[in-house]
Structure 1
Amino acid sequence: MSATSAASSRDYHGHIWPTRFVSYFHVYGRSGGLKFFGGTRASTPRSAILVCALAFFFLAEPVWADPFRVVAIGASNTSGWTVSSEHTYPHVLEQMLRSKGYDVQITNAGRPFDTTAGMLGRLDSAVSDKTNLVILQPGANDRRFFVSPERRAANIAEMKHHLQSRRIPVVVFDPVFPEDYYSFDRIHFTAEAHARIAAELMPEVIKQLERTKAPQKAARLRALGKH
């Protein structure tokens, strides 16, 4: 449909519409996709609606987009020893983020008794190329298996370097945990500790998520601006 005069326009059904001066798009649906041609001239309410729909298409978050994928690597305190799977910090963190409207999928790749050497050895199998972020919680098994602090630090550094070479950001979460984080065995986290860890990690995950989405939003804005 196109404008026929400055005062009115007729669509392909023969209906006459009052015109307004708005940016317009001609859209041609073909097997090869959509073609857009823009300008400023008189247009009808129907074409104004089309412009709004196109703007929404480019600027809104696409509902079919993949979720932001996170993999949590660690030992038994990641996998959830002494607590149920829904109380582990990866699961709690995922639920917290979803409650804030973030489309996030967190895979729990914790393995009981694992060391930093074990995590390094299984890193590629645990972290697919579609992963957007890795949370690395190295745990304390190195100390229990007489691995030196230097070797532990070197393994962590190698994991970071390897993930960065794959262009996958990594958050190393390795603080000195307070005594009240631990359960009766003095080794494993309580459910309350898992919830507190999830809350501590949440701002960093959101920052990485927004950093990843920013170029996608900018690309949609550029695409809209061209037309």
Structure 2
Amino acid sequence: MQRRKVWIATAWLGLSIAIVGYPAGAAAATVVALGASNTFGKGVARNQSYPAQLEALLRARGLSARVINAGINGDTTAGMLARLDRAVPKGTAAVILQPGGNDRRKGSGADRAGNIAEIEKRLRARGIGVVMLENSALRGLPHQADGQHLTPEGYRMLAESLVSQVAGALGR
């Protein structure tokens, strides 16, 4: 009988530790990757895009996070601004904003800075942390033959470079 009481007490202690370590109902922090084709992961499998690889890296570091890929091939900052409320659900903790270079190619480059500023303003007003991911962050990473989009390895390297910034935006 004594042995059973010790086991029950040990089991209860283990359960108590588990409850303290993992609050009941605690949901994963939501991170939205908002951008164009390099966010979408053009030319690679969905699990090779940087948002998918970033989620795996955050979880490997013990952070409970879900990264939503809201990248659209060919999107401009005007398009991102127009779909901002649909793409970034309530409760989102952080957004990685990758404005890309489509504004320049589609003749709306003059609006780019204003659109980015408005996107950031709206996100911050909602209490959402913003991590900027400009095209310069893609330089030196392995690209596909088109010279515009990253290889799976390039997306992995990009995800690795974002882990600390995203963790910081999540307050961790």
Deviations 1:180-201 (A, max 9, x none): 4321011211111101110111
Cα distance between partner residues in 2 of 1:129 and 1:152: 25
Cα distance between partner residues in 2 of 1:185 and 1:175: 15
Cα distance between partner residues in 1 of 2:132 and 2:44: 22
Cα distance between partner residues in 2 of 1:84 and 1:171: 24
The residue aligned with 1:172 is 132
Is residue 119 from structure 1 mapped to residue 75 from structure 2 by the alignment? no
Q: 1:63 to 1:92 in 2, by over 3 A?
A: farther
For normalisation by structure 2, the TM-score amounts to 0.84
Is residue 183 from structure 1 mapped to residue 141 from structure 2 by the alignment? no
Q: Cα RMSD (Å) of the superposition?
A: 2.4
Structure 1 counterpart of 2:100, from 139, 159, 164: 139
Is residue 195 from structure 1 mapped to residue 156 from structure 2 by the alignment? yes
Tell me which protein shows more helix as a share of its residues.
2
* Counterpart AA for 1:165: A
Q: 1:94 to 1:185 in 2, by over 3 A?
A: same
Q: Aligned to 2:53, what secondary structure does the other structure show? A: helix
1:106 Cα deviation after fit: 0.6
Cα distance between partner residues in 1 of 2:73 and 2:171: 32
Q: Aligned to 1:106, what secondary structure does the other structure show? A: strand
Cα distance between partner residues in 1 of 2:149 and 2:88: 24
Q: Aligned to 2:171, what secondary structure does the other structure show? A: helix
Structure 2 counterpart of 1:90, from 46, 51, 74: 51
Cα distance between partner residues in 2 of 1:65 and 1:201: 24
Gaps of 5+ in 2: 1-9
Structure 2 counterpart of 1:205, from 147, 162, 166: 166
Gaps of 5+ in 1: 1-48, 212-227
How many residues are treated as equivalent by the alignment?
163
1:209 Cα deviation after fit: 2.3
Q: 1:63 to 1:94 in 2, by over 3 A?
A: farther
Computing the radius of gyration from Cα coordinates, the structure with the larger value is 1
Q: Check whether the contact 2:95–2:130 (CA below 8 A) recurs between aligned residues.
A: yes
Structure 2 counterpart of 1:106, from 57, 64, 67: 67
1:63 Cα deviation after fit: 4.7
Equivalent residue runs for 1:51-62 within 5 Å:
56=17, 59-62=20-23
Higher relative contact order (CA 8 A, sep 6+): 2
* Counterpart AA for 1:195: R
1:130 Cα deviation after fit: 1.3
Q: Aligned to 1:167, what secondary structure does the other structure show? A: coil
